[in-house]
């Protein structure tokens, strides 16, 4: 599957399409290109495919269903269950690359994509001084590319332990500790529950904006399916429908410090804050095991200063504060990025991006669909 160097095209051959990134988005694009008769070479900076998934915390399972998370041309095996574990996602992605006999070159980080001078395509600059030319390139370097740690005043001199959630693997190192988790997205919510179950002495959860919480599945009906059905409906309609549904399925946690949000579920999702799928947070908050507190404003010596003026002194702060896409140095000079979000907003002929939205219908599902669209567009151009 892998070799040390991208094989350059011989003079009589058409250069391959290069796919930057060997995660699910890149692998799906490569498989679809191959299915459309286009040679694709995946360039992956780490030493194996699925690098992001290998680095996720131990407890993680997909919150989208197995059936709705499969990539083109190979379903996720039934034996992996409905909610696929992290290790099985990795197994699936390894198998996926092998099954489709994808050309994956590992240890190659693409640092910049430029237009070819003669306008015929693209030049990729990569580690080791490589320059690769191609008629088309697919950028699939990941939505969760660069951990984002807010520049909190005083954080540099904080005397406790401060880490980003991307460095969290499991609860063992925090057993018996007082831990503050910052941010209540899916990752922060799940880490808080994991810490409690793993023996942390106290877990607080710093919340800036009350999240929308949904059941991962209700009477067997997955939240993801509702997301798929609602995706094309008007935002305001979905916002309105979500209110009674939320009240029916999720108890009011206001008295426990987690009020119902006052912004629409779909409006928030469109801005990138998808709802939190409950994997234990509701029960943990109701039982007082996870304590919601105000947002973090600053650090001061051994203390964390919250936005309501409270000072707390946890042993460890875990910042589940998201990621940036880190696309500026790669494609920022091509004027394809939204200056506000840093995510792709326009396409250019022969330059395709996948995996830079976070839809309520599930990212894996959307990347699978993107892969087919990209492959058709490339095949048509060729």
Ligand X SMILES: Cc1cc2nc3c(=O)[nH]c(=O)nc-3n(C[C@H](O)[C@H](O)[C@H](O)COP(=O)(O)OP(=O)(O)OC[C@H]3O[C@@H](n4cnc5c(N)ncnc54)[C@H](O)[C@@H]3O)c2cc1C
- Complex with ligand X: residue 41 or 179, whichever CB lies closer: 41
DSSP letter assigned to residue 317: E
- Complex with ligand X: residue 191 or 312, whichever CB lies closer: 191
Work out the number of other CB atoms within 10 angstroms of the CB of residue 93: 24
What is the closest distance, in whole angstroms, from the C-beta atom of residue 150 to ligand X in the complex? 18
The two three-digit tokens of residue 239, written as one number: 């916002």
What is the closest distance, in whole angstroms, from the C-beta atom of residue 134 to ligand X in the complex? 14
How far is 1 from 154, CA to CA, in rounded Å?
Answer: 47
- Complex with ligand X: residue 92 or 299, whichever CB lies closer: 92
Residue with nearest beta carbon to ligand X: 23
Taking the CA atoms of 49, 55, 58 and 61 in sequence, report the sign of the dihedral they define. negative
Beta pairing class for 276-278 and 213-215 = parallel
Pick from 73, 71, 30, 72: which is nearest to 53 by CA? 71
The contacts of residue 209 (CB under 8 Å, 6+ apart) are: 261, 263, 273
Work out the number of other CB atoms within 10 angstroms of the CB of residue 244: 9
- Complex with ligand X: residue 214 or 305, whichever CB lies closer: 214
What is the closest distance, in whole angstroms, from the C-beta atom of residue 277 to ligand X in the complex? 8
Beta pairing class for 217-218 and 221-222 = antiparallel
- Complex with ligand X: residue 134 or 363, whichever CB lies closer: 363
What is the closest distance, in whole angstroms, from the C-beta atom of residue 300 to ligand X in the complex? 31
What is the closest distance, in whole angstroms, from the C-beta atom of residue 253 to ligand X in the complex? 23
The answer to whether 291 and 203 have CB atoms below 8 angstroms apart is yes
What is the closest distance, in whole angstroms, from the C-beta atom of residue 148 to ligand X in the complex? 12
What is the closest distance, in whole angstroms, from the C-beta atom of residue 44 to ligand X in the complex? 5
What residue ranges bind ligand X (CB under 6 A)? 20-26, 43-46, 51-53, 56, 60, 62-64, 69, 109-110, 140-144, 187, 330, 355, 362-364
- Complex with ligand X: residue 76 or 305, whichever CB lies closer: 76
Question: How far is C-alpha 289 from the chain's CA centre?
Answer: 27
- Complex with ligand X: residue 51 or 304, whichever CB lies closer: 51
Taking the CA atoms of 154, 160, 166 and 167 in sequence, report the sign of the dihedral they define. positive
The contacts of residue 349 (CB under 8 Å, 6+ apart) are: 381
């Amino acid at each position: 599957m892998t070799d040390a160097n991208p094989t350059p095209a011989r003079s009589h051959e058409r250069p391959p399409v290069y796919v930057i990134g060997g995660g699910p988005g890149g692998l799906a694009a490569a498989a679809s290109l191959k299915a459309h008769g286009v040679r694709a070479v995946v360039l992956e900076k780490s030493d194996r495919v699925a690098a992001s998934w290998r680095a996720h915390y131990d407890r993680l399972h997909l919150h989208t269903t197995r059936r709705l998370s499969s990539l083109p041309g190979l379903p996720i095996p039934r034996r992996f269950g409905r909610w696929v574990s992290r290790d099985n996602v990795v197994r699936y992605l390894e198998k996926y690359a092998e099954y489709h006999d994808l050309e994956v070159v590992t240890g190659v980080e693409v640092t910049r994509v430029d237009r070819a001078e003669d306008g015929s395509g693209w030049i990729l600059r990569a580690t080791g001084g490589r320059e690769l030319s191609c008629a088309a390139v697919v950028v699939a370097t990941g939505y969760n590319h660069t951990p984002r740690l807010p520049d909190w005043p005083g954080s540099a001199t904080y005397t406790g332990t401060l880490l980003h959630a991307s460095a969290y693997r499991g609860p063992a190192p925090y057993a018996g500790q007082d831990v503050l988790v910052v941010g209540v997205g899916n990752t922060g919510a799940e880490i808080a529950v994991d810490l409690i179950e793993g023996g942390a002495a106290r877990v607080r959860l710093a919340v800036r904006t009350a999240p929308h919480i949904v059941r991962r599945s209700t009477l067997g009906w997955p939240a993801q399916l509702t997301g798929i059905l609602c995706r094309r409906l008007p935002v305001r309609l979905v916002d309105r429908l979500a209110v009674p549904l939320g009240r029916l399925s999720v108890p009011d946690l206001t008295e426990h410090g987690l009020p119902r949000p006052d912004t629409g579920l779909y409006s928030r999702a469109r801005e990138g804050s998808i709802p939190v799928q409950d994997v234990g947070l509701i029960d943990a908050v109701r039982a007082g095991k996870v304590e919601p507190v105000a947002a973090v404003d600053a650090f001061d010596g051994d203390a964390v200063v919250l936005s309501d003026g409270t000072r707390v002194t946890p042993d460890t702060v875990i910042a589940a504060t998201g990621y940036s896409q880190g696309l500026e140095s790669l494609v920022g000079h091509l004027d394809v990025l939204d200056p506000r979000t840093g995510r792709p907003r326009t396409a250019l002929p022969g330059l395709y991006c996948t995996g830079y939205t976070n839809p309520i219908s599930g990212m894996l599902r959307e990347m699978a669909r993107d892969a087919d669209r990209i492959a058709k567009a490339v095949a048509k151009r060729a």
